[in-house]
Amino acid sequence: MTVPHHFLLTPGPLTLSDEVRAQMQYDVGSRDACFKTITAQVRNIIVDLVDGRDAYSVIPMQGGGSYGIEAALASFVAPSDRPLVCINGIYGERMLKMLQLRGVHVVSMTAPCDEPLSTSKIAEYLRRNPAVTHLCFVHCETTTGVINPLRPIVELAKKHGVRTIIDAMSSFGAVEISAKQVQFDVLVTSSNKCIEGPPGVSFVIASLEMLNSRVKHMNSFVLDVRDQWNSFEKSGEWRSTPPTHVIQACAKALERLTIEGVFRRGERYRSVRDAIIGATAPYASPLLNAKIRSPVCLALTAPNVIRTQKDLDALYAHLVDYNLYIYTKLHSQTRSFRIGCMGRIDLMWIRLLEIAFQDFFDANRGVRKYLSASKNRSVEKVL
Ligand SMILES: *Cc1c(COP(=O)(O)O)cnc(C)c1O
C-alpha cells in the first residue's frame, strides 16, 4: 500500500525535508568504512552542537527515544543508587516506571503538568534527602510543551553532588543546550524530533567521566551504553546491526541543523506555533501561558467542545479529511490536545488547519462535504 505524505502536525515523527528523505535510498554495509565514517560524523556533529568536545561523547543507540532513556538509566543508575525523578508530565512518569521496573529504589516528586518544575522545591527535597544520588527529569515535557529550567536544576544538582540524567528528546535541536554552561552528566535525544531525521535511533550524550566510571551492575547487553561506546571508540562499529538508512538520513539532517543553527530552528518553530495559535484562536486556546511555552509543540484546550477522547477522535477524523494529522491522544488531566510545530511544516498547512477548525467548530460542513466527495483530488486544489 502506498499513501501520500501526511501533513504531519505531530511532535515527532515529523515531515522530513526531501534531501533528508532521499538519503534513505542508499544501501550500505554496516561494518564498511563508509558507514563508520557516517557514524563518526553523526557523533561529532552532536558533540559540537552541545559544545561538548573533549568532555562528552555521543553514543547512538538502536531504537527510539524511550530506548535511549532506558539505556541511560540502565547504564548509569545502579540498584544501590537512590535516584529522584521530578515529574510534570507523561515522559517524567515513564522515567519513573523504567527505574521501578529495574527494581531501583527510586523516589519522585510530582508538579502540576501546566507548570515548570520548581527549582526551590527540588532544592528543599535535596537538602532534606542527602541520600539522593541522581536527578532525572525532562527538559521539555512534550505532554504540554512546558519547558523546565535546565540550568538552575543542573546547577542545583551539582551543588549537592547529584548526577543528572536528562530527557531532552524534544528540546535538543530547537532549544540551545551548551555543556560548557550547563554541566549535565547525561542527556538523551532522538533522531525524529528537532534533529528532523526519521525515527529509529536515539543519542545518549554522556560525560567522559560517567563513561569511564566502572560498574558492576550491568544486566543487559542491548542497553549497555558503555559497551556500545567502547565499540565505537575501538573500531568505529556498532555492536549489532544499526539502522543504516536512518543514520545516513540523520547525517544529512544534522548537517542541515548545523547550517540553520539551533537558535534559528527554534525561531522557525516559534513562528509555526504562533501561526497555529492564530489559526485556531476563536475555538481553542493554549493551555500554558506564553512564558513557559516551548517552541516545539502546542497544547490546546477547547473546553466546550473537546472534553473526552471521543470528542478528540471526532476532531482528529475531521482533520484527516484535510490530510492534516495532529497527535491522537487527549491528555486527560488537562483535557488538552497537542499540535506539533517541528519538522518541515508548510505554512499553507496552517491555513488549511484554520479552515478545518472553522468547519469543525462552526459545524459548517461545506468544505468537509466537498472534500469527502473528492477524496482522490489533491487537497491543494481545494485551496
Ligand atoms: C518523544 C519523546 C519521548 C519518547 O520517544 P519515543 O521515540 O516515542 O520512544 C520521550 N520523552 C520526550 C520528552 C519525548 O518528547
Question: Which of 84, 88, 91 has its CA nearest to residue 117?
Answer: 88
What was the pLDDT predicted at 132?
A: 98
d(CA 294, CA 334): 17
d(CA 137, CA 228): 24
Backbone angles phi, psi at 328, to 5 degrees: -80, -20
Ligand 1 center–CA 139 separation, angstroms: 11
Helix (H, G, I), strand (E, B) or coil at 172: strand
Cell of 299: 497544547
Ligand 1 center–CA 24 separation, angstroms: 22
Which pTM was predicted? 0.94
50, β-bridge pairs: none
Q: How many residues does the chain have?
A: 383
Task: Please report which helix (H) or strand (E) contains residue 208, including its range.
Answer: helix 208-212
Which 8-state DSSP code applies to residue 382?
H
d(CA 52, CA 54): 6
Binding-site residues for substrate, please?
Answer: 338
- pLDDT tens by residue, the chain, 383 residues: 677 899 999 999 999 999 999 999 999 999 999 999 999 999 999 999 999 999 999 999 999 999 999 999 999 999 999 999 999 999 999 999 999 999 999 999 999 999 999 999 999 999 999 999 999 999 999 999 999 999 999 999 999 999 999 999 999 999 999 999 999 999 999 999 999 999 999 999 999 999 999 888 899 999 999 999 999 999 999 999 999 999 999 999 999 999 999 999 999 999 999 999 999 999 999 999 999 999 999 999 999 999 999 999 999 999 999 999 999 999 999 999 999 999 999 999 999 999 999 999 997 444 444 455 555 444 444 44
Which residues contact ligand 1 via a Cβ below 6 A? 12, 64-66, 91, 138, 142, 167, 169-170, 190
* Cβ(257)–Cβ(203) below 8 Å: no
CATH class of 16-259: alpha beta
Which 8-state DSSP code applies to residue 165?
E
Provide the residue ranges of all domains of the chain, joining segments of one domain with +: 16-259, 262-382
What was the pLDDT predicted at 372?
A: 53
199 CA closest ligand 1 atom index:
7
Ligand 1 center–CA 216 separation, angstroms: 28
What was the pLDDT predicted at 377?
A: 47
Q: What is the largest CA-CA distance in the chain?
A: 66
d(CA 192, CA 63): 11
- What are the C-alpha distances in Å from 362 to residues 106, 151, 280, 283, 355? 49, 44, 12, 9, 10
What was the pLDDT predicted at 147?
A: 97
d(CA 368, CA 87): 40
User: Which CATH number among 3.40.1190.10, 3.90.1150.10, 3.30.9.40, 2.60.40.10 corresponds to the domain 262-382?
Assistant: 3.90.1150.10
From 62, 167, 338, the mutation candidate for ligand 1 (largest count of ligand atoms within 8 A of CB) is 167
From 61, 62, 94, 190, the mutation candidate for ligand 1 (largest count of ligand atoms within 8 A of CB) is 190
Backbone angles phi, psi at 306, to 5 degrees: -105, 95
Q: Hey, whose CA ends up nearest to atom 3 of ligand 1? A: 65
Which 8-state DSSP code applies to residue 241?
-
